[in-house]
């Protein structure tokens, strides 16, 4: 349809149009060929009922996880009157919704590319309704066949923008979503939390037209990553349960219906098998808030509603959202490369390395702290917001009745900007994650100290405003703006201090004061982390993927002069280890059998992280580097190409390493497919179809252009 509209356009210059269209299609098809199709789902929500909190407040919120270097802005949208017939349109999928006569004022933490989806995600409206939307989830294949998701249905990208400005209560929000899903369908599965002065509603949009929502109990807590968690509910309890009519029927029709303890169990009926990354975050979150929780890592499923004898504070929740398996047998998945372990292949489950709550893909995190004595006009409480990953960024509190946000929150660039809260936070993250030995826990401890002070101050403000019956929008806006300005100055000073420290330590790469968008992407922690909670990215080896080490033959380097192999690691030298290398040359590969022995002549295989540098064939292009086991390629390593015709990679063990070279094939004389991937890359069927379409379009346009010229 898009092509039809474009081709029928007669109001633009034909020559310019053809060039633009060909260019866009080429880019589009290149993307289709070179990138895998997968839904990126990686958020973790939580709720803590007020009976379980240290101060009697209700806590709920989420980490918004997708990918590093994804800007988020914090804004206030004023109330407005809408013209008759005006529609809200989701440019991401074409969903349309008729706007009411009036839209209320609301706050949001939004994306900066609305054509790819608005993703307002989280905020307050002027009536004290708050929302966190969404935690993505997906029904199993059998369910989807019976009640498939609707292409132009309601999606996360528009959820908050539809709901928050148009409801006066949390229940109205749930009912509005239910109405839309019933009539227009859902484009995807989602978990939504909506709250007001009466409490929190937890809602699962299960399939194309099925949903269940419950009024959340005050004496429970929950952690929910990207899978459904609802168990058995009382569908006859209309006061506390809102559900679609056919939620059980769809499960039965799909032969996916399951009962536990004699009752229909929603999540077990609708879920696919639990992904490892969902399991790791659910388990870690439950145990972080209650170490005594009776859950095991390998449980078949985790109940939504958890109990605790421990009182939970805002600080506890902040720690949970930063959790990286501290005090457990597991280590964060993004730590693998820094530990010299490489990156696991897609679908591989590692017994030690798991996907953490505090992962590199967190773009923002928020915590609603709702109190009975704070007026609805102020939101009924505060939202603690960390723009950027809270691992190395601070939380700041905001009441619901602010009328503006600090300017640094509103910079909407898609690359680094020194005046942007998100980009400065992202740059700090990249430096801290990459240079862990240099900074340790100092960055996070700095922000924890700030947050401890802010929590204490906020509690006093809450008491003051509760006693006074509230505070004006002008007052809370001015104070929050001043606080944000002060903290942002601290962030900028910290950024400069870290840059200088890295420069002085001569730890590559040194960072400029204004890195480009790719600067952050070069971070080993960020760039090699998973962009999905449910899948692991396949590792690749190229000179552009990894920071370029600068090996040098110093007192920290062992050298085998016969082969030119160098091992840079001071620990090896201090231990008086001896290096021996046997090189085997093949047509399209070189193998290096690297052996280390101690002074007693005993072989040493496991060592601390070591930078290995080996020569490569003149004029050859390195395709991959593997450790060999039993004659087979066992472990793949990222590598960099150095200027002296060598490559470097890091390892913690020694055996035989194989350097594979790309096989150079002569291009066919009649090859006109100049945009095909290079040797070794796969062309998907969809990509080939796209190429054919592009050829047809170019042919049609060429004929039209010729006709017009004639």
- 3-class SS letters over 455-491: HHHHHHHHHHHHHHCCCCHHHHHHHHHHHHHHHHHHH
Q: What is the Rg, in whole angstroms, of the alpha carbon atoms belonging to the chain? A: 28
Residue of 284, 363, 320 whose CA lies nearest to 68: 363
Q: pLDDT grade, residue 665 (50/70/90)?
A: low
Residue range 445-455, pLDDT digits in tens = 999 999 999 99
> Do residues 362 and 42 make contact, with C-beta atoms less than 8 angstroms apart?
no
As a whole-number percent, the residues of the chain with pLDDT over 70 amount to 80
The DSSP annotation for 646-697 comes to: EEEEEEEE-SEEEEEEPPP-PPPTT---TTSPPTTPPPPHHHHHHHHHHHHH
* Count of residues making up the chain: 710
Residue of 95, 312, 99, 62 whose CA lies nearest to 194: 62
Average pLDDT over residues 37-46: 65
> Do residues 90 and 548 make contact, with C-beta atoms less than 8 angstroms apart?
no
Give dist(CA 266, CA 244) in Å, integer: 12
Q: pLDDT grade, residue 344 (50/70/90)?
A: low
Give dist(CA 434, CA 423) in Å, integer: 16
409 secondary structure, DSSP code: G
> Do residues 680 and 623 make contact, with C-beta atoms less than 8 angstroms apart?
yes
| Residue 664 vs residue 196, higher pLDDT | 196
Residue of 534, 446, 523 whose CA lies nearest to 491: 446
How far the first Cα of the chain sits from its last, in Å, is: 28
The answer on pLDDT for 86 being more than 80 is yes
Residue 305 CB burial class (10 angstroms; 0-12, 13-18, ≥19): middle
Average pLDDT over residues 626-633: 85
Residue of 493, 499, 465 whose CA lies nearest to 479: 465
Residue of 46, 58, 40 whose CA lies nearest to 225: 46
No. of helices (H) and no. of strands (E), the chain: 17, 33
- Can you give the pTM of this predicted structure? 0.69
Q: What are phi and psi of 615, to 5 degrees?
A: -75, 155
The answer on pLDDT for 542 being more than 70 is no
pLDDT at 538 (0 to 100): 30
The answer on pLDDT for 695 being more than 70 is no
Residue range 509-539, pLDDT digits in tens = 433 333 433 333 333 333 333 333 333 333 3
pLDDT at 11 (0 to 100): 40
What six digits make up the tokens of 21?
A: 């269209």
Give dist(CA 308, CA 297) in Å, integer: 18
Residue of 121, 118, 97, 99 whose CA lies nearest to 108: 121
pLDDT at 6 (0 to 100): 32
Which of 155-169, 370-384, 662-676 bottoms out in mean pLDDT, i.e. has the lowest?
Answer: 662-676
Q: What are phi and psi of 676, to 5 degrees?
A: -70, 150
pLDDT at 264 (0 to 100): 98
Find the DSSP H helices in 64-169. 141-146, 156-163
Residue range 355-396, pLDDT digits in tens = 999 999 999 999 999 999 999 999 999 999 999 999 999 999
pLDDT at 608 (0 to 100): 81
281 secondary structure, DSSP code: H
- DSSP-derived pairing of the beta strands 189-196 and 211-215: unpaired
Handedness of CA 112, 118, 119, 122 (dihedral sign): positive
Give dist(CA 201, CA 192) in Å, integer: 8
The DSSP annotation for 166-199 comes to: G-SSHHHHHHHHHHHHHHH-BSSEEEEEEEETTE
| Residue 499 vs residue 572, higher pLDDT | 499
pLDDT at 184 (0 to 100): 98
Which of 296-310, 396-410, 560-574 bottoms out in mean pLDDT, i.e. has the lowest?
Answer: 560-574
- Calculate the average pLDDT of the chain: 83
pLDDT at 506 (0 to 100): 61
Handedness of CA 671, 676, 682, 687 (dihedral sign): negative
Which residue numbers are catalytic? 43
């Amino acid at each position: 349809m898009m092509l039809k509209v474009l081709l029928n356009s007669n109001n633009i210059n034909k020559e310019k149009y053809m060039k633009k269209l060909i260019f866009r299609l080429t880019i589009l098809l290149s993307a289709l060929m070179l990138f895998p199709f997968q839904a990126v789902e990686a958020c973790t929500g939580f709720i803590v009922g007020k009976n379980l909190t240290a101060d009697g407040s209700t806590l709920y919120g989420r980490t918004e996880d997708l990918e590093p270097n994804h800007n988020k802005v914090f804004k206030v949208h004023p109330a407005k009157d809408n013209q008759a017939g005006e529609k809200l349109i989701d440019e991401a999928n074409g969903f349309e919704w008729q706007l009411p006569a009036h839209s209320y004022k609301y706050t949001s933490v939004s994306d900066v590319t609305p054509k790819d989806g608005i993703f307002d995600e989280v905020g307050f409206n002027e009536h004290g309704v708050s929302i966190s939307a969404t935690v993505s989830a997906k029904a199993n294949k059998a369910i989807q066949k019976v009640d498939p998701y609707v292409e132009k249905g309601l999606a996360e990208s528009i959820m908050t923008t539809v709901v928050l400005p148009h409801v006066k209560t949390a229940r109205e929000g749930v009912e509005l979503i239910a109405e839309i899903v019933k009539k227009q369908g859902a484009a995807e599965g989602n978990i939504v939390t909506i709250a007001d002065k009466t409490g929190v509603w937890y809602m699962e949009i299960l399939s194309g037209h099925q949903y269940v929502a419950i009024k959340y109990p005050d004496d429970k807590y929950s952690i929910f990553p990207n899978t459904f968690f609802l168990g058995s509910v009382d569908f006859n309890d209309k006061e506390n349960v809102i559900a679609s009519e056919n939620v059980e029927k769809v499960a039965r029709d799909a032969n996916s219906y399951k009962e536990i303890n004699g009752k229909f169990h929603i999540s077990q009926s609708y879920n696919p098998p639990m992904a490892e990354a969902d399991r790791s975050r659910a388990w870690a979150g439950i145990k972080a808030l209650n170490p005594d929780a009776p859950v095991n890592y390998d449980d078949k499923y985790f109940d939504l509603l958890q109990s605790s004898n421990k009182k939970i504070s805002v600080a506890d929740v902040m720690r949970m959202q930063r959790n990286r398996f501290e005090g457990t047998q597991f280590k964060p998945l993004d730590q693998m490369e820094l530990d010299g372990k490489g990156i696991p292949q897609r679908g591989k489950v590692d017994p030690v390395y798991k996907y953490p709550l505090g992962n590199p893909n967190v773009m923002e995190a928020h915590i609603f702290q709702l109190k009975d004595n704070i007026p609805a006009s102020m939101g009924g409480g505060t939202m603690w917001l960390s723009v950027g990953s809270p691992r190395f960024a601070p939380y700041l509190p905001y009441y619901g009745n602010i009328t503006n946000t600090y300017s640094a929150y509103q910079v909407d660039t898609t690359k680094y900007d020194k005046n942007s809260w998100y980009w400065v936070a992202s740059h700090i993250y990249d430096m801290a994650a990459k240079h862990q030995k240099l900074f340790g826990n100092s960055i996070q401890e700095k922000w924890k100290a700030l947050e401890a002070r802010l929590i204490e101050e906020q509690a006093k403000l809450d008491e003051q405003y509760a006693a006074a019956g509230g505070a004006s929008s002008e007052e809370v806006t001015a104070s929050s703006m001043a606080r944000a300005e002060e903290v942002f100055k601290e962030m900028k000073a910290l950024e400069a201090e870290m840059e200088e420290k890295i420069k002085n330590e001569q730890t590559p790469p040194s960072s400029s004061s204004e890195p480009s968008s790719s600067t952050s992407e070069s971070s080993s922690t960020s760039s090699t982390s998973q962009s999905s909670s449910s899948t692991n990215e396949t590792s690749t080896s190229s000179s552009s993927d990894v920071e370029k080490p600068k090996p040098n033959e110093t007192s920290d380097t062992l050298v085998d002069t016969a082969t030119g192999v160098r091992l840079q690691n001071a620990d090896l030298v201090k231990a008086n280890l001896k290096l021996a290398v046997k090189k085997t040359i093949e047509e399209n590969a070189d193998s290096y059998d690297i052996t280390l022995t101690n002074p007693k002549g005993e072989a040493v295989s496991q060592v601390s992280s070591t930078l290995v540098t080996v020569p490569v064939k003149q004029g050859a292009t390195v395709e991959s580097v593997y450790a060999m086991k039993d004659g087979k390629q066992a472990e793949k390593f990222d590598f960099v190409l150095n200027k002296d015709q060598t490559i470097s990679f890091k390892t913690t063990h020694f055996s035989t390493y194989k350097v594979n070279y790309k096989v150079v094939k002569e291009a066919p004389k009649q090859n006109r497919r100049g945009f095909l991937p290079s040797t070794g890359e796969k062309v998907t069927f969809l990509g080939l179809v796209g190429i054919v379409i592009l050829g047809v379009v170019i042919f049609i346009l060429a004929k039209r252009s010729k006709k017009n010229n004639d």
